[in-house]
């Protein structure tokens, strides 16, 4: 790459105190404790405060390498104002990369700057010329091969000419070619290296841009009352793929405990044919590495993984590190659980609530090393069967160091594996888990409803340091979350929330078919739990219903695929609109080649209209030229002009526009086109 070279870091003579200070290196998280995140091909733009005492000229390089390389790549840094320096590098492989900054007081650059001034002032500076010549001669000793020879020849020639024609000799010493060569072999003895290597975890593109569909295999049977199988799932794949999803997320597929099994609607007593909760993992049939007999065999699972790939999608498995009381681990490894003074195993509880069908692991056990190794082995087992994405249940009830270790261990050998962290109501803990290694995280999107809440929250997620480590995955619903907004707002609310999720977030997901079928009955008023939840019983969904949102969702996903600006969380800007029922925002790529404006009527009950104001210059639009707003949802096209334009949205028909802006292009024949 241009301007790069390879080197080991020159350690400055440690007997000298460091004159150069390098601070506030950015980006970095918690003083380098945690890595930032990037996607393969991304640029990492690094800046730092670099300064020294005195008035000498400094030089600085950005050093970067993968964690498997020993040699650094160097990129020269350039100065911005007020002692701030900057350079960037591109991450061209997945896995961990390391970067840091090195700077030094450059004797030759200092000499050259001063010598130019002396020459300009017409000074007779023979001693100064000698000093410079010595610097060139010393560099010749550091240099290699032909360049060493070239420097030596140059120094000799300057020396030879100095007595006869000082002016000519000075010109020789100040020659641009010499400066270039000297920059290749700088004297870094008066240098410093930033005191910690900073890390960046580079993922494949799906870590940034993904569209998830959560589906209970148990309910995929075409026959009501029959337990769904992996083969039924295979048959359902085209339906999911046609909607445009690329991740198929399955709740746990393992044997379900019989002891204290929950009945329908979370009843404490299960009827004989109640299937229980898939998260109550383990029975005499096996545990986290086994498959629930009703779903099929491991071969059926592999066939599903394969068929999913063939449809352009991937299977994501649920990781729930907890057990049913009859999980084999409880019998084989009682030391991994909390044993109470009466000899019983402690079940999960949040006093006075009890979850008798679940026993948590005791991560404080003295045998934590064996426990950790086994949990890692579970992940490796499913990787061995083709899974590369894991959705992690309740990550916040396991120690942070465990996740940091597990994810690093897995990604060291399988850097393409992605982990999605479930959410809970502790924002700092959510961020901590992301810093410790989760590739994506659920968010509080489901509970952000007003324009103010959405603007506030997504500004924090996308326009602050959070953007360096936290990749939001937006879910309007999950099997645990049927929001009041969806319960009350019905179909228009589902439509609006799907547009918000799919355009505010580069990654989003829905729990279907509940979502596209607008399932919105809570178990009781005020609860976010579904009535007749699939968590505790089989459901039969009529995916052919005419009121299904599957076409609406397919249009959203198509807009996402065809517009790169929707594939990244950066480039989000909120715009003002003079009616509080609306939210308006745009997303654009850095080069503005992809640009989308979204307007949503957040009121599911009433038609509204208003005037949206767009910052034309920021969006690369002209005040005087009309531009075309192509609604990717309805396919309608509107001609807008200037910054203020009218919108009207009737939620009963469609509560949102996803406008692709087509700029006005005048052709040679003076016909009007929109690109």
Contact residues: a copy of itself, CB under 8 A: 16-19, 21, 23-24, 30-31, 49, 51-55, 82-83, 114-115, 117-118, 120-121, 123, 127, 130-131, 134, 190, 340-342, 344, 350-352, 363-364, 368, 396-402, 405, 426-429, 432
How far apart are alpha carbons 4 and 265 in whole angstroms? 63
What DSSP character marks residue 361?
B
Number of other residues whose CB lies within 10 A of the CB of residue 140: 20
Bridge partner list, 145: none
Task: Report in angstroms how near the CB of residue 347 gets to a copy of itself at its nearest.
Answer: 12
Helices (H), 315-450: 328-332, 368-384, 400-413, 427-436
* Neighbour count for residue 160 (Cβ, 10 Å): 11
One of 42, 106, 214, 393 is an active-site residue; which one? 393
DSSP for 250-284, written as a single string: E---S-B--TT--BGGGBSS--TT----TTSB-BT
CB of 469 to a copy of itself, least distance (A): 13
Q: Which of 42, 106, 374, 422 is catalytic?
A: 422
User: 37: closest CA among 168, 202, 225?
Assistant: 202
Least distance (Å) between residue 156 CB and a copy of itself: 16
Does 171 qualify as catalytic in the annotation?
no
> How far is Cα of residue 211 from the mean position of the Cα atoms in its chain?
13
Instruction: State in Å, rounded, how far the first CA of the chain is from the last one.
Output: 34
Token pair for residue 231? 């083969």
Radius of gyration in angstroms for the set of CA atoms belonging to the chain, rounded to a whole number: 31
Note whether 457 and 467 are within 8 A (CB): no
Tokens standing for residue 20: 């150069």
> Strand 595-601 vs strand 656-662: parallel, antiparallel, or unpaired?
antiparallel
Find all residues with CB under 8 Å of 140, minimum gap 6, and list them.
148, 149, 151, 152, 155
Q: What is the C-alpha to C-alpha distance for residues 505 and 306, in angstroms, rounded to an integer?
A: 28
Of residues 70 and 350, the one with the C-beta less far from a copy of itself: 350
- CA-CA distance, 107 to 115, in Å (whole number)? 12
Max CA separation in the chain (angstroms): 108
- State which residue, 406 or 482, has the beta carbon closest to a copy of itself: 406
- Helix locations, 106-261, DSSP H: 107-120, 126-142, 145-164, 166-173, 176-184, 230-243
Three-state SS at 610: strand
With beta carbons less than 8 A apart as the criterion, state whether 89 and 100 touch.
no
Does residue 137 sit in helix, strand or coil? Answer: helix
| CA–CA distance, 168 with 135 (Å, rounded to integer) | 18
15 by Cβ neighbours in 10 Å (0-12 / 13-18 / 19+) ranks as exposed
In 3-state terms, what secondary structure has residue 618? coil
Specify whether 465 is catalytic. Answer: no
Reduced DSSP (H G I as helix, E B as strand, rest coil) percent helix, strand, coil of the chain, to 5:
35, 25, 40
The answer to whether residues 455 and 444 touch, using CB atoms and an 8 Å cutoff, is no
CA separation for the pair 19, 37 (Å, rounded)? 32
Q: Please give the structure tokens belonging to residue 58.
A: 């400094």
**C-alpha to C-alpha distance for 657 and 98, rounded to whole angstroms:** 42
Nearest CA among 460, 553, 472 for reference residue 508: 472
The span from the CA of 8 to the CA of 346, in Å, is 54
User: Do you find a cis peptide bond into 513, omega within 30 degrees of 0?
Assistant: yes
- Return the active site residues: 393, 422
């Amino acid at each position: 790459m241009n301007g790069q070279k390879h080197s080991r870091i020159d350690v400055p003579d440690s007997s000298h105190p460091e004159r150069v200070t390098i601070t506030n290196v950015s980006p970095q998280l918690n003083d380098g404790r945690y890595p930032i995140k990037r996607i393969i091909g991304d640029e990492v733009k690094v800046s730092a405060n670099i300064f020294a005492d005195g008035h000498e000229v400094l030089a600085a390089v950005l050093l970067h390498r993968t964690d498997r390389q020993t040699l650094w790549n160097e990129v020269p840094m350039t100065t911005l104002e007020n002692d701030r320096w900057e350079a960037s590098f591109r991450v061209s492989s997945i896995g961990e990369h390391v970067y840091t900054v090195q700077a030094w007081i450059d004797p030759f650059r200092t000499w050259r700057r001063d010598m130019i001034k002396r020459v300009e002032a017409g000074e007779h500076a023979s001693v100064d010329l000698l000093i410079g010549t010595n610097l060139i001669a010393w560099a010749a000793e550091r240099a290699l091969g032909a360049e060493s020879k070239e420097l030596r020849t140059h120094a000799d020639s300057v020396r030879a000419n100095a007595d006869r024609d000082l002016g000519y000799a000075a010109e020789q010493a100040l020659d641009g070619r010499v400066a270039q060569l000297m920059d290749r072999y700088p004297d870094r003895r008066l240098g410093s290296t930033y005191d910690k290597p900073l890390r960046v975890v580079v993922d494949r593109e799906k870590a940034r841009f993904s569209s998830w569909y959560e589906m209970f295999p148990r309910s995929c049977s075409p026959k009501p009352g029959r337990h769904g199988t992996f083969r039924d799932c295979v048959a359902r794949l085209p339906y999911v793929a046609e909607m445009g999803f690329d991740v198929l997320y399955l709740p746990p597929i393992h044997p379900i405990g019989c002891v204290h099994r929950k009945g329908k609607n979370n009843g404490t007593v299960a009827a004989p044919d109640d299937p229980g909760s898939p998260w109550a993992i383990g029975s005499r049939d096996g545990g986290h590495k086994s498959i629930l007999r009703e779903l099929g065999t491991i071969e059926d699972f592999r066939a599903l993984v394969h068929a999913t790939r063939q449809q352009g999608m991937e299977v994501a498995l649920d990781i729930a590190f907890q057990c049913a009381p009859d999980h084999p681990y409880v019998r084989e490894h009682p030391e991994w659980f909390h044993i109470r003074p009466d000899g019983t195993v402690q079940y999960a509880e949040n006093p006075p609530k009890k979850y008798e069908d679940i026993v948590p692991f005791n991560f404080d056990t003295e045998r934590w090393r064996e426990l950790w190794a086994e949990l890692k082995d579970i992940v490796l087992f499913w990787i061995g069967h083709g899974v590369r994405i894991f959705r992690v249940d309740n990550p916040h009830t396991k120690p942070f160091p465990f996740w940091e270790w597990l994810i690093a261990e897995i990604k060291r050998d399988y850097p393409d594996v992605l982990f999605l962290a479930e959410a809970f109501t502790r924002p700092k803990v959510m961020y901590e888990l992301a810093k410790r290694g989760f590739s994506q995280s659920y968010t509080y999107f489901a509970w952000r409803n007003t324009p103010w809440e959405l603007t506030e929250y997504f500004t924090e997620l996308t326009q602050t340091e959070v953007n360096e480590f936290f990749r939001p995955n937006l879910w309007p619903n999950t099997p645990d979350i049927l929001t009041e907004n969806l319960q009350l707002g019905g179909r228009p609310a589902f439509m609006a929330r799907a547009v918000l999720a799919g355009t505010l977030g580069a990654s989003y997901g829905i729990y279907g078919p509940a979502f596209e079928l607008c399932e919105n009955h809570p178990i009781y008023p005020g609860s976010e739990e579904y009535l007749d939840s699939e968590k505790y019983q089989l459901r039969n969904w009529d995916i052919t219903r005419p009121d299904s949102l599957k076409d609406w969702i397919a249009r959203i996903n198509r807009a996402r695929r065809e517009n790169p600006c929707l594939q990244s969380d950066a480039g989000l800007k909120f715009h003002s609109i003079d009616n509080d029922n609306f939210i308006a925002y745009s997303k654009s790529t850095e080069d503005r080649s992809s640009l989308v404006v979204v307007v949503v009527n957040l009121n599911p009950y009433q038609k509204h209209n208003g005037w949206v104001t767009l910052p034309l210059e920021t969006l690369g639009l002209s005040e005087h030229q009309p531009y075309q707003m192509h609604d990717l949802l309805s396919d309608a096209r509107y001609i807008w002009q200037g910054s203020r334009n009218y919108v009207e949205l009737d939620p009963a028909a469609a509560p949102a526009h996803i406008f692709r802006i087509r700029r006005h292009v005048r052709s040679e024949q003076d016909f009007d086109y929109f690109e």
